[in-house]
């Protein structure tokens, strides 16, 4: 009998070792990992430079307090701000906390700096922003909200890909529009570029903030350091977590210079954000990505993966569309794909869903061409054998 709250429908697998694109379970079975811990282990499992930095730091200093200067945190913030093209960083522990900080910063900027009673955040249907009360309310999926009433006020969700809906939702109470460049949990839907730029222009015209949730799409996942770079957007606030520390728990909220006035001493805080350990992992992750130009590799290998999937599965009646950016790929199917995930595990291939009918592939950014071909061949055989064309 487990002593854990049963909040996860866990697969009956227990992994004990990882290296690069591969995992081994407690029975010695080997798996090609195209999940990456849900876009977390972007450098693969046990990346050496991150491992070495953590080992060095763990023998030196784990934790002091954010009441003191943390030199490693200052270094991590400088490196992250540079690659992210941002001016200020707030470190925390997770994506939900990063998004919570973004929401708080937007509200406080207007109420304390601008002197305006703006507090509403406009979000999109199919979005996912976290599991705290504020971020699940911001999420555009009803299933995450069940049983948590009453929800906090101040959030308006509108249908995606409808600029008129956002225009109608914005009013004198609106503080920000919050979007994902790719709605990963909602089905792997990249935002239309024209629509994304219309949102940015609307925010500028109305004098409100643009928040971009890059929790899953940041740190090279989509073929750029951040997905909004690919779109040519300049959000006021954006967030990152998952891959920012290669599996060590860390998140960050980033913003522009003019927002520093809103987050002053005592306005927001965290106990564990930006510890020497977390900062060391972030520094090593960024340096590794820079040395090997991993965003560029993700763009190139992502094109290969999507192209191979379309070539092998594009004519199968069970497959409706292959879409995504970089190494965040969704395969929309005509029926449920849960059984295919289980079959993949039996054959040594790990992947995950994005809704009932979408297969989501998230290999690490170092994934090789050989591993891509191996995964495509396995997935193709699974679909061809388990979903006969006459039954579709």
Looking at residue 386, its pLDDT comes to: 86
- At 388, the pLDDT band (50, 70, 90 cuts) reads low
Does residue 334 fall inside a structural domain?
Answer: no
Does residue 268 fall inside a structural domain?
Answer: yes
Residues 268 and 311 in one domain: no
Looking at residue 184, its pLDDT comes to: 96
Buried b (16+ CB within 10 A) or exposed e, 283-296: bbbbebbeeeebbe
d(Cα 294, Cα 328) in Å, to the nearest integer? 14
Q: What is the pLDDT of residues 322-333, one digit of tens each?
A: 999 999 999 999
Tokens at residue 54, please? 């953590």
d(Cα 382, Cα 318) in Å, to the nearest integer? 12
Residues 207 and 187 in one domain: yes
Looking at residue 123, its pLDDT comes to: 98
Q: What is the pLDDT of residues 231-241, one digit of tens each?
A: 999 999 999 99
- How many structural domains compose the chain? 2
Q: Identify the domain containing residue 104 by its residue range.
A: 48-291
Q: What is the CATH number of the domain that holds 382?
A: 3.90.1150.10
Does residue 344 fall inside a structural domain?
Answer: no
Looking at residue 34, its pLDDT comes to: 98
Residues 222 and 274 in one domain: yes
> Domain boundary at 237, 263, 291, which?
291
Q: What is the pLDDT of residues 353-385, one digit of tens each?
A: 999 999 999 999 999 999 999 999 999 999 999
Residues 259 and 361 in one domain: no
> Domain boundary at 267, 291, 315, which?
291
Residues 32 and 22 in one domain: yes
Does residue 247 fall inside a structural domain?
Answer: yes
Does residue 3 fall inside a structural domain?
Answer: no
Does residue 87 fall inside a structural domain?
Answer: yes
Q: What is the CATH number of the domain that holds 147?
A: 3.40.640.10
pTM (whole model) above 0.95? yes
Mean pLDDT across the chain: 97
Residues 177 and 28 in one domain: no
Does residue 347 fall inside a structural domain?
Answer: no
Residues 86 and 56 in one domain: yes
Residues 307 and 255 in one domain: no
Looking at residue 391, its pLDDT comes to: 53
Residues 78 and 225 in one domain: yes
Q: What is the pLDDT of residues 145-187, one digit of tens each?
A: 999 999 999 999 999 999 999 999 999 999 999 999 999 999 9
> Domain boundary at 237, 262, 291, which?
291
Q: Residue range 201-217: average pLDDT?
A: 98
Residues 106 and 212 in one domain: yes
Tokens at residue 176, please? 């920000």
Q: Are 349 and 254 in contact (CB under 8 A)?
A: no
CA dihedral sign of residues 312, 314, 318, 323: positive
- The answer to whether residue 257 scores a pLDDT higher than 70 is yes
Residues 285 and 316 in one domain: no
Q: Residue range 17-37: average pLDDT?
A: 98
- 66: number of Cβ within 10 Å: 16
d(Cα 372, Cα 301) in Å, to the nearest integer? 8
Residues 24 and 52 in one domain: no
Q: What is the pLDDT of residues 56-66, one digit of tens each?
A: 999 999 999 99
Does residue 1 fall inside a structural domain?
Answer: no
């Amino acid at each position: 009998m487990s002593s854990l709250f049963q909040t996860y429908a866990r697969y009956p697998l227990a992994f004990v070792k990882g290296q690069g694109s591969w995992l081994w379970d407690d029975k010695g079975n080997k798996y090609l990992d195209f999940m990456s811990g849900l876009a977390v282990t972007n450098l693969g499992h046990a990346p050496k430079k991150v491992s070495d930095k953590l080992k060095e730091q763990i023998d030196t200093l784990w934790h002091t307090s954010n009441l003191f200067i943390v030199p490693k945190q200052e270094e991590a913030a400088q490196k992250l701000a540079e690659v992210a093209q941002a001016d200020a960083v707030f470190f925390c522990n997770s994506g939900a906390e990063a998004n919570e900080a973004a929401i708080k910063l937007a509200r406080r900027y207007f109420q304390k700096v601008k002197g305006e009673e703006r507090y509403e955040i406009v979000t999109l249907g199919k979005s996912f922003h976290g599991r705290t009360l504020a971020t699940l309310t911001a999420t555009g999926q009803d299933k995450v909200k069940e049983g948590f009433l009453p929800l906090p006020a101040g959030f308006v969700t509108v249908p995606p890909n409808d600029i008129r809906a956002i225009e109608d939702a914005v009013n004198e109470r609106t503080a920000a529009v919050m979007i994902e460049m790719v709605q990963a949990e909602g089905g792997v839907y990249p935002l239309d570029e024209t629509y994304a730029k219309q949102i940015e222009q609307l925010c500028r015209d109305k004098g409100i903030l643009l928040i971009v949730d890059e929790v899953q799409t940041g740190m090279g996942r989509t073929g750029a350091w951040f997905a909004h770079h690919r779109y040519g957007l300049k959000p006021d606030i954006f967030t990152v977590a998952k891959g920012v520390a290669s599996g060590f728990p860390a998140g960050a909220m980033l913003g522009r210079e003019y927002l520093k006035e809103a987050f002053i001493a005592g306005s927001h805080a965290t106990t564990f954000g930006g510890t020497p350990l977390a900062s060391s992992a972030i520094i090593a992750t960024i340096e590794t990505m820079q040395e090997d130009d991993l965003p560029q590799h993700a763009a190139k290998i992502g094109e290969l993966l999507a192209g191979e999937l379309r070539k092998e599965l594009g004519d199968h009646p069970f497959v409706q569309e292959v879409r995504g950016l970089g190494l965040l790929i969704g395969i929309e199917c005509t029926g449920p794909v849960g059984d295919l995930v289980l079959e993949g595990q039996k054959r040594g291939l790990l992947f995950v869903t994005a809704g009932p009918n979408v297969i989501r592939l998230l290999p690490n950014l170092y994934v090789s061409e050989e591993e891509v071909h191996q995964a495509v061949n396995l997935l193709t055989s699974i679909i061809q054998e388990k979903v006969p064309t006459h039954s579709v």
